[in-house]
Amino acid sequence: MTIPGLVTRWDIHFKTYFYLMVFIWALVTLILVYFGFKYRRRTADGEGRGGAGNLFLEILWTLIPLLIVLFLGIQTWALFRDFRRVPQDAYEIRVEGYMWGWNMTYPNGQRTRNEMRIPAGRPVRVYLTSQDVLHALYIPAFRIQEEAIPGRTTYLWFQANEPGEYDIFCTEFCGSGHSLMRGKIIAMEPAAFEQWSGKQAQPAEGPTGAPPHEKGKQLVSDSGCLNCHTLTGEKGIGPSFKNLMGKKESLEDGTTILVDDAYVKESILAPKTRVVKGYPPAMPSYQFSDQEIHAITEYFETLK
Ligand code: CUA
């Protein structure tokens, strides 16, 4: 199983195409300029001699490009095949794109948002889908990209040879939050990864003794809420969290509501039910427990 080295092979492949194209472009341009000069019209009524055809040249300029294109085609096919052929022992993660973020689900059921933890030195297979519209998962460090399509599951695979952080981008325009749809891959030493996934599998209770608003703050920053909501009072894709609790908001239908615990809960679990005027009904549902929602409202109370 030839696994690592795909990135290097991809780069060599890209450079082969690139330099070959530059070479052919330069060659054709030089000949064009030279002939333009050499066979220019010399007198006002000058006429050129017609060409008689040349079988040798015809064969030559058919055969050479054919060989080049065949060579590139076979190389491309071989590389593509290896990019699509997932190794047997791959670690599997399910990734779901939504407006605007990524949900990761691990084999033991644990979840993260916008952060994909993986063991370094092991192939990883991603099963990819979308909750709403077309997105595309792009991981430049591994030279891979795949479409996230609602109602369909696609896949890609890669391997991080070294522990470290790698960027994730969405590369399919998916609305006003498209540019915010970033994430990180965190490749960990296998032992550290084992420990992390063991810990995460425990029921998600906050650190014992921590006040609820601390836990709420953690939830809000870990869940990607701040991609769309600010803490400063500025308008984001959604309303700011600053001074939110106790505020009167106008709705699209002209009525007003008071932002209380019940409205926050509804807006987290079923965000499209009552949307504040002037904002798109863009937020996906977040399945937090009552305890977690309580922690979040406690946190909002501190943002005055
Ligand atoms: Cu999701 Cu662009």
What is the model's pLDDT at position 304? 83
CA of 185 to the centre of ligand 1 (A): 17
Residue 128 CA to ligand 1 centre (angstroms): 13
Tokens 């430049």 correspond to 140
Q: How many other CB atoms are found less than 10 A from the CB of residue 174?
A: 21
Q: Is the minimum distance from the CB of 174 to ligand 1 under 6 angstroms? A: yes
- Distance from the alpha carbon of residue 293 to the mean position of ligand 1, in angstroms: 27
**Mean pLDDT for the stretch of residues 150-177:** 93
What order of strands is seen across the sheet that includes strand 182-188? 115-119, 182-188, 164-170, 135-139, 144-148
Ligand 1 atom with least separation from CA of 133: 1
Give the separation between CA 172 and CA 275, rounded to whole angstroms: 26
The pair of three-digit structure tokens given for residue 84, joined into one six-digit string: 């699509």
Strand 123-130 versus strand 154-159 pairing type:
antiparallel
Which atom of ligand 1 has the smallest separation from the CA of 99? Answer: 1
* Whole-number pLDDT of residue 202: 53
Q: Residue with structure tokens 């000069």?
A: 37
Q: Can you name the residues that pair with 156 across neighbouring β-strands?
A: 126
97 Cβ closer than 6 Å to some ligand 1 atom:
yes
Indicate the SS3 state at residue 246. Answer: coil
pTM given for the model? 0.65
User: 178 falls in which pLDDT band (50, 70, 90)?
Assistant: very high
pLDDT at 210 over 80: no
**122: amino acid identity, one letter:** R
* DSSP collapsed to 3 states, 46-71: CCCCCCCCCHHHHHHHHHHHHHHHHH
DSSP, residue by residue, 265-277: HHHHHSTTSSPBT
Predicted confidence at residue 238, as pLDDT, reads 87
9 C-alpha to ligand 1 centroid (Å): 28
pLDDT of residue 119: 94
Confidence label for 30 from pLDDT (cuts 50, 70 and 90) = very high
pLDDT at 1: 37
Q: Is residue 112 a contact partner of residue 154, using CB atoms and an 8 Å limit?
A: no
Pure H helices in 119-201: 190-200
Q: Is the pLDDT of residue 52 over 90?
A: no
- Answer with the residue of higher pLDDT: 172 or 228: 172
Distance 23 CA to ligand 1 centre (A): 37
* Ligand 1 contact via 143 beta carbon (within 6 Å): no
Average pLDDT, the chain: 87
Q: Are 249 and 259 in contact (CB under 8 A)?
A: yes
Is the Cβ–Cβ distance between 97 and 128 less than 8 Å?
yes
Q: Is 80 exceeded by the pLDDT of residue 201?
A: no
Task: Look at 180-194, 213-227, 234-248 and tell me which has the smallest mean pLDDT.
Answer: 213-227
